[in-house]
Amino acid sequence: MQPNRPTKGDQPKNALKSMIRIRLLACVVAASLCVFSRPTTAQASTQLPSDHFSSIVIDAATGQVLSSVNPDAERYPASLTKMMTLYLAFEALRDHRITDDERVPVSPHAASQAPSKLGLVPGSNITVRQAMLALVTKSANDAACALGELMGGSEEHFAQMMTLRAHALGMTRTYFRNASGLPDSGQVTTAADLALLARHLVRDFPDQYRLFSTPSFVWRGQMIANHDHLLKSYPGADGMKTGYTDAAGHNLVTSAVNGNVRLIGVILGAPSNPARDSRMVAILNDGYAKLNIAPSAVHEPTVAIAANTTKPRHHFPHLIASAEAASLPASPPRHTRSGGANWTIQLGSFTNESNAVRAANQAARKIDGDPRIERVSVRGHIIYRAKINGLHQNDATAYCHRHSGCAIIPPLNRVASR
């Protein structure tokens, strides 16, 4: 038996049905292509896989892009968000809306933030300077939230301030939802935008920018080290910030100076910290090579001021007071040199911080030690003590014999044995 064949009357109908099916299929395919080739902002912000990688290297002076990979692709910033939190804090300090020693109240919302955190409790407070140090070293989310609430009234309003300021700086693809960088599908940025922010931090606040090179921070007697390993390992590196969440991957912004040329590098979405760091080294080296500059063979490290901030040795135009100096015992000398280089001299106590800084500057040019400014409260009055740590006993004695008002402080173990 032969199979049924369509009659002549059926052929036009079947052809029409086939054409309709083909056109419908074509529409579906075209619609699918539109969806996948032009994702909306909402889709892009919620569907970014953690292994998506972006990078950029720019010349900080000119803004010239030396290399890039997906520089305008939307990514999650993670704790790189704190760069903008600090930018707004630097602006507020400059405009005298807040002060270094102003107390930052800790709300239940701030205290409830997920780690990394200082473990702040509701109703307590920290100073603005302590909060900023906690951001650049431990990347403390509770401190970031509290600082944002201080400046914005609420973290939500502060995030709006962050976004508006970012757009004013030219970071048009960046949107903030919180002060810390904790996961939020609406909080996105790009490598190019973060490079622009880093450039503004360096150019707009050259003194405050040095905070990003802080190697460690003393909090309640505990030394908290900076998460950024390139500060110690890459020639000329002097900041900026690390970041990580599961969705964002391993992020890093680094600024380095070699041959009087500052480069800024951004890595977003690396699979691990070692991969992130090695990739940053590679793109910075490539950037310097394109400018015919070889990275310096020696990375001259910075030194801690009271374990809270850094300045190049013998140049301290803006020494920063040590955190909780009034309530903590004096910190042991940061450098333990051979032969008992663990003596301290106190140059004097001053009611004006700039006078204390001046005294430390003058002493640092004459004696090889680690300067520190302690801010303490004595009977309700703030005073500033200028000190030099890490001295040999003979050097400390000789210096104080030549300078009136200088006091010699023996090592802590000798004080405790009395």
**Do residues 379 and 260 share a domain?**
no
Does 206 map to a domain? yes
pLDDT band at residue 14 using 50, 70 and 90 as cut-offs: low
Whether the pLDDT of residue 109 is over 70: the answer is yes
Q: Which of 79, 213, 216, 331 is catalytic?
A: 79
Whether the pLDDT of residue 322 is over 70: the answer is no
Does 295 map to a domain? no
Whether the pLDDT of residue 307 is over 90: the answer is no
pLDDT band at residue 379 using 50, 70 and 90 as cut-offs: low
Q: Which of 82, 138, 241, 387 is catalytic?
A: 82
* Adjacent-strand bridge partners of 251: 243
Burial pattern 91-104, b for ≥16 Cβ within 10 A else e, equals bbbeeeebeeeeeb
Between CA 308 and CA 69 the distance in angstroms is 35
**Do residues 93 and 135 share a domain?**
yes
The radius of gyration of the chain from alpha carbons, rounded to an integer in Å, stands at 28
Q: Is 82 labeled as catalytic in the residue annotation? A: yes
**Do residues 198 and 242 share a domain?**
yes
**Do residues 272 and 317 share a domain?**
no
Does 33 map to a domain? no
Considering its fold, how many domains does the chain have in total? 2
| The 370-378 sheet, strands edge to edge | 370-378, 381-391, 343-350, 407-409
**Do residues 351 and 376 share a domain?**
yes
Q: Is 327 labeled as catalytic in the residue annotation? A: no
Q: What percent of the chain shows pLDDT beyond 70?
A: 74
Between CA 179 and CA 145 the distance in angstroms is 6
pLDDT of residue 321: 33
218 sits in which H/E element: strand 216-219
Domain extent, residue 323, equals: 303-416
Over the stretch 118-172, which tens digit does the pLDDT of each residue have? Answer: 999 999 999 999 999 999 999 999 999 999 999 999 999 999 999 999 999 999 9
Over the stretch 110-120, which tens digit does the pLDDT of each residue have? Answer: 999 999 999 99
Spatial neighbors of 17 by CB under 8 A, at least 6 apart, are none
Q: Is 107 labeled as catalytic in the residue annotation? A: no
Q: Is 103:127 a contact under the CB 8 Å cutoff? A: yes
**Do residues 111 and 154 share a domain?**
yes
Region 204-227 average pLDDT: 91
Between CA 309 and CA 132 the distance in angstroms is 10
pLDDT of residue 80: 98
User: What is the residue-averaged pLDDT of the chain?
Assistant: 78
In the structure encoding, which two tokens stand for residue 51, read together?
């292994």
Between CA 305 and CA 210 the distance in angstroms is 12
Q: Which of 45, 54, 55, 139 is catalytic?
A: 139
